[in-house]
Amino acid sequence: MNFQAVKAIYFFEMARFFRTLLQSFVSPVISTSLYFVVFGTVIGSRIQEVEGISYGAFIVPGLIMLSVMTQATSNGSFGIYFPKFIGTIYELLSAPVSYFEILLGYVGAAATKALFIGLVILATAAVFVDLKIMHPVAMILFLVLTCISFALLGFILGIWARNFEQLQLVPLLVVTPLVFLGGSFYSVSMLPSIWQTITLFNPVVYLVSGFRWSFFGNADVPIFVSLLAISSFTVVCVIIVAWIFNTGWRIKQ
């Protein structure tokens, strides 16, 4: 294992993150505050509690998942796409660095950025609502797995994309709508029975449900199913990345 190479890629990506710290740090704080003003105050005045939990506290896991998924995907995709765009990817491929070390550096940095933003949003939410975490270990586990899996997804998208429009296509038109329709701001049990069944085909439901369980002990689906879903998604992404590196698809072209 060439740890020096992994360290170089990782810190190069993290340096880019800290150069835009105002956007990286202040933006999620402002966005979270606005969500609490709109959802917590306006909707919360009409929906006092959901499953015995105040509505302001109930939406916190969904807010964190929304930001973490989109940020991990965006950071993971841009990190590998930009070297492709300017042509420095060939210098990286010709260096004595394995594919695994490249993946570890880029995905590790993207997951770290998303984890940082998730923790910032959690701290911001604690200012607005009385927040208690029943299962902190499970919360960290779900958060880390989500950051890694969606950073892997972003890495795949960055290799697939041929332009900046395609780079933003999946995060904006797929990931964000799935999160909004995945029970982030409501309980699946509040839906009519037919829509409850349809919603279960949304994979994000299992991630949000498991993450919310770690906070309040309530879940729309069994916790083990949620853990299996996020673990399976991570494994599938790893298999796809391995195939890409083995075939050189859109890397060596």
How far apart are the C-alpha atoms of 34 and 39, rounded to whole Å?
A: 8
User: Please, is 216 exposed, middle or buried when counting C-beta atoms within 10 Å of its C-beta (0-12, 13-18, 19+)?
Assistant: buried
Give the per-residue pLDDT at 156. 95
Tokens read off for 244: 């890409």
Q: What is the count of structural domains for the chain?
A: 1
Which pTM does this prediction carry? 0.92
For strand 53-54 and strand 49-50, is the pairing parallel, antiparallel, or unpaired? antiparallel
Half-sphere exposure of 176 (CA within 13 A, CB side): 10
Residue 89 domain flag: yes
Question: What region, left, alpha or beta, does residue 191 occupy, with left being phi > 0 and alpha being psi -120 to 50 degrees?
Answer: beta
Could you give the residue ranges of the DSSP H alpha helices within the chain? 3-19, 21, 27-35, 55-58, 60-86, 89-94, 99-128, 136-160, 164-170, 176-180, 193-199, 204-216, 223-247
Give the per-residue pLDDT at 45. 65
For the chain of 253 residues, list the mean pLDDT of each consecutive stretch of 10: 90 87 74 75 72 87 91 91 87 86 95 92 86 92 95 95 87 87 88 89 92 93 92 94 89 70
User: Please, is 22 exposed, middle or buried when counting C-beta atoms within 10 Å of its C-beta (0-12, 13-18, 19+)?
Assistant: exposed
Contact 55, 43 (CB under 8 A): yes
Residue 188 domain flag: no
Residue 145 domain flag: yes
Residue 253 domain flag: no
Question: What region, left, alpha or beta, does residue 218 occupy, with left being phi > 0 and alpha being psi -120 to 50 degrees?
Answer: beta
Q: Which domain holds residue 107?
A: 3-183+193-247
Residue 252 domain flag: no
